[in-house]
Each structure stands twice: as C-alpha cells, then as structure tokens.
Amino acid sequence: MLRLATSFLLVACLFSGTLSTPVAAPNVITVPISKKVSGKTRSLKALLARDLGRFNPDAAAAVGEAPATNEDDTYVVATKVGSQTFDLIVDTGSSNTWVGSGTKYSPGSTSTNTRKSFSVSYGSGSVSGTEFTDTVAFGGLTVTKQSIGDGTTSSGFDGVDGIIGFGPVDLTEETVSGSTTVPTVMDNLLSQGKISTEVLGVSFAPESGSDEDDTNGELTLGGTDATKFSGSITFVPKSTTSPYSEFWGVTVSSTTFNGKSIGGSASAIVDTGTTLIFIPTAAYNAFLSASGGTTDESTGLASWRTAPTANFAFTIGGVSFTLTPAQYLVPASQLADFGLPSGNFGWIADGGSTAADINFIIGQKFLENYYSVFDTTNKRVGFATRA
C-alpha cells in the first residue's frame, strides 16, 4: 500500500547481481500469512480505482468509480500488540505500524502513551491518532517498545485491523509529531538482536479456483527461505530516482510482450499492498496493441475477445521475469467473484503517463509468481522463481 509523501532521502545503491541464498541461517524466522477478503463485496473496477488512488488520484478518477474500501484479497499477518491480536496488512509500500481500524486498541501494562500525535496519508485512505509504544509479537518473535499508532480516526480501511509497515524507514518521516522518523518493526528486530540482518523474504501463491481466505503466503525475517524459490535470487540496487527512491524502487530495463519490447527502461516500485500490476500508459497501450486487446469501458481493465497466448515479461537485473497468460489473466473461476461477465480480463493495468506520479507498480499479481526479497542492510531488492 503506497503512502503519499512530500519528502524523501536519496540512498546509495551498493550491490547488484545474482546470488544463491541459503535458508538455514541463525535468527531466520518464517511466519505464515493469510489472504483475507476484507471488503463486503468484490469488484475489480473498485479495486482498480483503489489501487490507482494510492499513487495517482487523477488516474483513479478516470476509472469512474470512487476508490473502494479494501475490495480485494489482502495479505495479513496475525500480530499480537500488547495482549491483543490483530490481522494487519503486510505492506512494503508504507512503514508505520498502526492498529484500530477494525479491532480497537486497548493500551495495557506493556504500553506507553508517548503523548505524540501520528498521522499517515495513503492514496486510498488515511489514519490518525496517538502514538504508543508497545510489545509486538508474531511468528515467535517479540519486539519491545515498538512505535504503534492508535488509529482512532481512519478512512478506507473497513474490514481490516491496520497495517504492519515493511517499507523503508524514510516513509515514516513527519508521521509522528516531534519525531523525524520512527524505527520500523524490521529496524527494531535488528537493533534488539532478534534477526542478524535486516532482510525480509515474501512468498505469495495464487489461489486456485474461486476459494478465498487461504493461508497461502509466508514472510521470512532475517534471511530467505530456499524452500520457497528455485534457482538463484537476482538482486538489483534500490532505486535512487525520485520519487521511487522513497519506496522499494527498482529499475525495469525493459517490458516485453511475445519477446518484443513494449517499454524501455523505467523505475518501478515493488508493493505487496497493491493488487494489480500497473505499467506506464505508453507500455500499456503497446501491450494492448500487440495482444489485440482493448480497455473495457465498464471495468477499466484490459480485455480481449480471444485470450492472448504470448508471454508478458519484465527484465530486471538482466533477467527476464515472465508471466504466462494464465498468470496475467483473471482466472475464469474468479470472474463471478469479482462481478465480471464471461470473457478475458487482465491483471495488467494502465498506471498513467507521468512517472513523477509513480505510474509503474509491481503488485501482488506479479509477486504471487515470484519470491521477493527486501534487503535493507544492502539496499537492494531481489526476485527468484517461486518454487
């Protein structure tokens, strides 16, 4: 989930390349995550508007439907804050951790009221309230004195309890009064000696058929889980191009369809909180032209009379990461769940024409097919084929 920010810090890029990463290492913890239907209804048009609204409100308005309230499948992790347990959205596109949208936060013996206000604006919603510090536990790991926002006022988050932010710490800038930034959960896991390196591995898996609410994902804290990917991990430096440098930004050197270029080098962000895959308008139009598709007026989604048979791919770090038609098309078994008629619709959408608005987002529908790694220690992002 993308947080709109007004300030950022350029960071140095230290490493790129392809490495094989072992799973068995000290202080590496795996945590199951679940896919949860968090809205009362499921609408891909509303989902598209919500995704677009996170980073480009003008593009969202063009869809013709107000941003939805989590009208999608959201990956959540059961997280204990103090004595309460919350289902928190796993979000690499923001960095604050807050609770209270669903289950209300009740400060207890481990909590401390800092007397500071906190406020975070997301493109698709906002939250504000008071900052506490409290004990946070998940997957057998416990963090003490973690900054927690008590979200007494929020919009756009009905059906979920809050967010656990796994984005860069700079995204917390100016979110808590009197603080420049606040340490993230990953920062505190490292500083408190619970992990030996600040690395997050993320494994998603597409749902089969029309089932929902599956425990079909995993977070790996402090390293990677080699059982979740095959081959080696391709690492690329975290972007230094504004505004992508604020987030987990990467350089996509080319976008191809059927082996032919439809888009040149561009910056993108990798975001577990965005559902679809958004590419710049020029690349999107080229994709439709090459595949024989159009934009469906009723949904805003790419659609085809005859399903395309060629692959779509991003080249990142010199490696082509491919999506087959079965991976970039909405499964026929899920059409009715999302209120779609029979036909062929795609998970790849128009992100807008202006790079400054963040018009290139690699969301869940790519990440469900690849293992992803967010390495704060070495300022890099990695991808590998999902096992």
Show the tokens assigned to 82: 């103090």
| Contact between residue 208 and residue 214 where contact means Cβ atoms under 8 Å apart | no
φ, ψ dihedrals at 61, nearest 5°: -65, -30
Q: Please state, in angstroms and rounded to a whole number, the distance separating the CA atoms of residues 338 and 95.
A: 29
| Contact between residue 291 and residue 94 where contact means Cβ atoms under 8 Å apart | no
Strand partners, 83: none
Show the tokens assigned to 43: 């609408």
271 is catalytic: yes
Q: Please state, in angstroms and rounded to a whole number, the distance separating the CA atoms of residues 69 and 129.
A: 20
CB-side exposure of 293: number of CA atoms within 13 Å? Answer: 30
Catalytic site residue from 271, 337, 350, 375? 271
Show the tokens assigned to 334: 């899920």
- Could you tell me whether strands 73-81 and 84-91 are parallel, antiparallel, or unpaired per DSSP bridges? antiparallel
Show the tokens assigned to 154: 């929020």
The CA–CA distances, whole Å, from 4 to 16, 128, 175, 380 equal: 27, 15, 11, 22
| Contact between residue 334 and residue 344 where contact means Cβ atoms under 8 Å apart | no
91 is catalytic: yes
* Environment class of 209 (CB within 10 Å of its CB; exposed 0-12, middle 13-18, buried 19+): exposed
Q: Please state, in angstroms and rounded to a whole number, the distance separating the CA atoms of residues 188 and 93.
A: 18
SS3 state of residue 309: coil
SS3 state of residue 297: coil
Q: At which residue do the structure tokens 């990142």 appear?
A: 316
Catalytic site residue from 72, 91, 187, 225? 91
Task: Please give the radius of gyration of the chain, using alpha carbons only, rounded to the nearest integer.
Answer: 20
| Contact between residue 276 and residue 41 where contact means Cβ atoms under 8 Å apart | no
Q: Please state, in angstroms and rounded to a whole number, the distance separating the CA atoms of residues 34 and 173.
A: 29
Strand partners, 127: 120, 154
Positions marked catalytic: 91, 271
